[in-house]
Amino acid sequence: MEIADRAVYDETGQHAEDATLTALVDQYAATLYRVAFSVLRNASDAEDAVQETFLRVLRHRGTLGEIRDHRVWLIRIVWNIVLDRKRRAKTRPETDDVAELARVLPAGGLNAEQRAAAVQYHAHVLACVDQLPTKEREVLVLSAFEELSSVEISSVLGITESSVRSRLFRARNLMAGLLQHSRSIR
Amino acid sequence: MNFSTQNNASIHYGASATGEETLRLIAGLPAPKLLEERVKANLNSAARTARILRWPAPLVRSQGWMHSIAARSAAAAAIVFVVAGGSWGVYSRVQPALPTNVILMPLRTVPSNGFSSAGAIRTPQTLNGSVVAHPSAVMPRQNKPASKSANQTTAKSRQSRRAVTDARE
């Protein structure tokens, strides 16, 4: 029976795709969440972005076998999703970022006053990051992930590796200038 | 990857001076607990709803009948035939509008003397005869020759009267 054989084959293939998808969730959901949180800076938004990423993968699970590097592919998907969400979302007040940082940052043996000062400092740094040009900001945010090489960053952003390095150099210079300027004002 | 070894900027300023310390801190935050479980549950529910609308497996898979070249060609030919037939049907029924060649004719007033044109579209003007524009304008012209003749008759009668009187004398 040819049809029965095909049905068995389809069932087997479907189970294999499901198993691959489950393995991808187990392996990369946390990484994708951190990438999403670094852009959105909101826990629930970041989790929504991760969910949407895997839903897109589910829709195209027939092509999973053609993907060489699943990690970079998934990071690219979540990166596009979070950028799209960030673009569509209204600008949130800085106080929201401070409150979210105070909630998620580890205490690290600091007392309440030191912790509040650390949160304020980090929020200020993030505000300076937001002032950077888009291209430089994207490279700077992705370079903070230790597990991403410059080649992987270039494939996520769709640019060359030399562009990644030059943009990162400019971003660091701009950030240093912004932070120094704010210190001199204080 | 450590970018600080590749760039002079980070060596010059340091990670804290460029704010990368903060970004690394955020990039290293742990994911919420049971994130994977929630994602899997969402995927399972989405896959279940998607399977309701799924095509039968023999139609979808690579070994399905639709993937044979003959079936694809037949389907393409059928589509072309239907589209061409429909177009020809519409074309053959709808005639293009001819260019209009209409001359506007002046409205004819029905003569009040009891005669009608009997539905004739065009009647020669000779039947109607010459039309007098205004009677008052025509009347003096008719009187002038009459007065001339009257004058001539009076002159002739005077002459005849003179001749008669001359003859009597």
- Is A24 domain-assigned? yes
Q: From residue A77, how far is each of A51, A54, A84, B23 by CA, in Å? A: 11, 9, 11, 21
Q: Chain B residues contacting A, CB < 8 Å?
A: 1-3, 6-10, 13, 17-32, 35-36, 38-40, 42-43, 46-47, 50, 57-58, 60-61, 63-64
Tokens 């401070």 sit at which residue?
A98
Return the closest-CA partner of residue B17 out of A128, A100, A106. A128
- The enclosing domain of A13 has a CATH number of 1.10.1740.10
Residue A111 is predicted with a pLDDT of 79
Query: pLDDT tens across B117-145, in order?
Result: 677 776 666 656 666 666 555 555 555 55
Domain tally, chain A: 1
The tens digit of pLDDT for each residue in A15-56 reads 777 788 888 999 999 999 999 999 988 888 999 999 999 999
B19 in any annotated domain: yes
B-chain residues within 8 Å CB-CB of A75? none
What is the SS3 assignment for B96? coil
Query: Residue B11: which domain range?
Result: 1-30
Mean pLDDT of A85-111: 72
Q: Using alpha carbons, list the distances in angstroms from residue B51 to A106, A148, B38, B81.
A: 43, 36, 20, 34
Contact A149 B1 (CB under 8 A): yes
- Residue A10 falls within a domain, yes or no? yes
Whole-angstrom Cα distance, residue A84 to residue A80?
A: 6
Q: Is A102's Cβ below 8 Å from some Cβ in B? A: no
CB B31 within 8 A of CB A29: yes
Per-residue pLDDT, averaged over B36-56, amounts to 76
> Domains in chain B: how many in total?
1
pLDDT score of B153: 62
In a domain, A165, yes or no: no
Share of chain A above pLDDT 70, in %: 86
ipTM at complex level: 0.80
Alpha-carbon gap, residue A141 to A54, rounded angstroms: 22
Q: Report yes or no on whether pTM surpasses 0.90.
A: no
Q: Which residue of B has its CA nearest to A140?
A: B20
